[in-house]
């Protein structure tokens, strides 16, 4: 009988599914000391989120027992030493596709909130101000939407943008040409920004992308839409804080070079104080792009299905240390 440890919580539906397969599931959290003393060695698999750190010592302390699978219920695996797992013959899995739709939907939500003054209109009405005449917005339809990074989420945003009648432009130096689909591929960020009134950030935070988006690029944006309308420029980011240079964005909002900005991610989180929060045409959400009931259930179910494949002797589709197969 397979025993599974769930250390950082998981959707109920996923727990039930494992139980219905006859697995013994322990929802249990371990201290660093317990992890370093083989607390997982009696489990076939462990499902973690970001709270449990499985570094070299923790993994080595639990190898040699039953442990065959580490699954990250989510995307980021920076809390797992994958190389050490590989050399100890332990599979590392994740659940990267589960949050795609939620993030893509909120991206469009941020774009619409910016272009149509939804949050601003709501805020003013709660203050007793009927600002109808001051809130003339612009349509997404007919505009060029520039996507920085064209991975899974960006491609989902692109599909939604198409439905709104937007033309999709993308910059992603790591992506093979055939994955750009009907999007116009740009070879530089300068070219992307020069062509787009609407920009959405979908890349990872790395040393290359830190402070990538600032005044210099935004100055290139056309202000006038591809359809000829005077819509202004818009920027949204739901990827990682730090890619967008917040102090420069603040300047661009105040100068009118950006008409609206929506951020779900920030240089410092949680945000306590941030000048952007004093800007009228700024929309902030507290890092909730993946925070939906559906995404959380899907993350759990995707994790479980990966673990089932692994324990049934199949190759899990989300296996991250493919070296194990050699």
Q: Which residues bind a second copy (CB under 8 A)?
A: 101-102, 105-106, 108-110, 112-113, 116-119, 121-126, 128, 130-132, 135-142, 159-160, 162-165, 227, 229-231, 269-273, 277, 283-288, 291-297
Give catalytic status of residue 198 as yes or no.
Answer: no
∠182-159-238 over CA atoms, to 5°? 115
**Smallest distance, a second copy to C-beta of residue 73, A:** 15
224 SS3 class? coil
Structure tokens at 120: 């601003």
- C-alpha distances (whole Å) from 312 to each of 1, 43, 86, 319 are 12, 15, 19, 14
CB 74, CB 94: distance < 8 Å: yes
Cβ-based nearer residue to a second copy, 112 or 205 = 112
Cβ-based nearer residue to a second copy, 109 or 316 = 109
Helical pair 118-126 and 100-115, crossing angle rounded to 10 deg:
60
Q: Which of 155, 240, 298, 302 is catalytic?
A: 240
Give catalytic status of residue 17 as yes or no.
Answer: no
CA dihedral 29, 34, 37, 42 (to 10 degrees): -30
Give catalytic status of residue 3 as yes or no.
Answer: no
**Smallest distance, a second copy to C-beta of residue 120, A:** 9
DSSP state of 54: B
Cβ-based nearer residue to a second copy, 161 or 316 = 161
**Smallest distance, a second copy to C-beta of residue 128, A:** 6
CB 156, CB 100: distance < 8 Å: yes
**Smallest distance, a second copy to C-beta of residue 207, A:** 26
**Smallest distance, a second copy to C-beta of residue 271, A:** 6
Neighbours of 295 (CB within 10 A): 21
**Smallest distance, a second copy to C-beta of residue 274, A:** 8
Distance CA 119, CA 110 (A): 10
Q: Which of 3, 49, 116, 287 is catalytic?
A: 287
Neighbours of 59 (CB within 10 A): 25
Cβ-based nearer residue to a second copy, 167 or 296 = 296
Q: Which of 27, 190, 269, 294 is catalytic?
A: 269
Cβ-based nearer residue to a second copy, 104 or 189 = 104
Cβ-based nearer residue to a second copy, 22 or 270 = 270
Instruction: Give exposure, 5-26, as e/b (b: 16+ Cβ within 10 Å).
Output: bbbbbbbeebbebbeeeebebe
126 SS3 class? helix
- Give the catalytic positions in this structure: 240, 269, 287
């Amino acid at each position: 009988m397979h025993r599974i440890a769930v250390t950082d919580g998981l959707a109920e539906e996923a727990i039930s599914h494992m139980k219905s397969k006859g697995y013994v599931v322990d929802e249990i959290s371990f201290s660093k000391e317990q992890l370093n003393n083989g607390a997982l060695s009696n489990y076939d698999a462990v499902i973690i989120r970001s709270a449990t750190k499985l570094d070299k010592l923790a993994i080595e302390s639990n190898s040699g027992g039953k442990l065959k699978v580490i699954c990250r219920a989510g995307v980021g695996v920076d809390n797992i030493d994958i190389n050490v797992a590989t050399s100890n013959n332990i599979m590392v899995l994740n659940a990267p596709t589960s949050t795609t739709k939620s993030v893509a939907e909120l991206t469009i939500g941020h774009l619409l909130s910016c272009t149509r003054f939804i949050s601003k209109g709501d805020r003013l009405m709660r203050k007793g101000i009927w600002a109808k005449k001051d809130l003339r917005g612009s349509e997404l339809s007919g505009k060029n939407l520039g996507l920085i990074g064209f991975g899974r989420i960006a491609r989902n945003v692109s599909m939604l943008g198409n439905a709104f009648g937007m033309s999709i432009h993308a910059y992603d130096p790591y992506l093979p040409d055939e994955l750009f689909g009907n999007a116009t591929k740009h070879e530089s960020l300068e070219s992307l920004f020069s062509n787009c009134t609407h920009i959405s950030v979908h890349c990872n935070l790395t040393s290359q992308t830190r402070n990538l988006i600032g005044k210099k690029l935004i100055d290139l944006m056309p202000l006038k839409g591809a359809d000829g309308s005077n819509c202004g420029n818009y920027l949204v980011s739901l990827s990682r804080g730090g890619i967008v240079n917040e102090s420069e964005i603040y300047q661009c909002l105040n100068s009118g070079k950006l008409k609206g900005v929506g951020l779900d991610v920030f240089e410092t989180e949680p945000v306590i104080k941030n000048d952007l929060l004093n800007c009228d045409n700024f929309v902030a959400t507290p890092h909730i792009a993946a925070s939906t009931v559906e995404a959380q259930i899907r993350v759990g179910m995707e994790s479980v299905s990966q673990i089932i494949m692994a324990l049934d002797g199949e190759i899990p589709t989300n296996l991250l240390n493919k070296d194990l197969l050699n």
